[in-house]
A and B are shown apart, each in its own frame.
Chain A
């Protein structure tokens, strides 16, 4: 057979293209492969939902039941030492929670008010942007999650968070947990931790532990994408604020003052 360079290139070119098309179509017809692709989208996370919370400070009487509920649900240690302290939800002065709102002649009740604060699960979360291992990331339902398996303890996220919502485990937290909840893991020395919006409870169709514990109904949890949800209805009626809006992080925890 007489074959010249041009003909040879043509034949090999066509053959390679045919092979590529064949293997690509094989891959696409492989149901396991397609299945795996869809599984990535996660059955467990509700589609089209964006979780948010509304805290009505007029109803909050600073009883700390939310803090206690969270503490026992998530095995949060107590160190009685500010440097080591780990918190997912806690109370701070109104002035510190809302520095932009505070002035000399505040409404009397707000002046000494303690405000429950937690991770804001920001739309544009700076902690997520800086995490070098993707140990923290934004779920489709709006929760800023932590994967403690991946956290290397670099604390970039702590530096990035304008709300101080994250705590670092300077020491092994186990001996400082009052009573271990066997169903929820603890953390280890060297990882950063924070509120997970009770992802483990949402998966079971429950409300977050803090919301459930609040018997004054000061906390409303719900879907911000659903116009008819309780939280959205309330937000339509009332004037609500978020913490440090100038940071541009778009928090999802709203406060009625």
Chain B
């Protein structure tokens, strides 16, 4: 076989690269799960935690259409039946005043870059 050593080395490099996702965390340490900071006395968010984690972007999208396009203001929680004003500034920010410690914590971890903050004031 010609160039057996080169081919062998090539195969080894290839295998290392291909298996990278499997051993990467073991060698370099797994990233720690995000710990968004919640600074509030309130007992719960506008919906239960699972819904918020999975659906907050859907809820916010719904809010923006209701507020901007239909002039509505009040959101009734499906979990708790309580009323909230549909506003990032007036509702979300009350309990989560710091965007970097709350929103960005998970967004950075998940690699998503929402552009809400280009206009909405939330530092």
Contacts and interface: CB of A to CB of B under 8 A. Distances in A.
Nearest to A46: B71
A1 interface: no
Chain A contact residues, majority secondary structure? loop
Interface stretch (A110-118, A124-132, A180-188, A233-241): A180-188
Given A183-B90, A185-B89, A188-B119, A203 B68 contact: no
A120 B115 CA distance: 31
Interface in A140-165: 145, 147-149
B71 A39 contact: no
Contact of A42 (B72, B118, B121): B72
Given A44-B73, A183-B89, A183-B90, A188 B68 contact: no
Nearest to B68: A147
Contacts of A187: 119
A133 to B, nearest CB: 12
Nearest to A42: B70
A139 interface: yes
Contacts of A145: 68-69
A242 B13 CA distance: 77
A40 interface: yes
A139 B71 contact: yes
Given A147-B68, A149-B64, A149-B68, A185 B121 contact: yes
The 6 closest A-B pairs by CB, nearest first: A44-B71, A42-B70, A188-B118, A45-B71, A44-B72, A185-B119
Interface of A: 39-40, 42-45, 137, 139, 145, 147-149, 180, 182-188, 199, 203
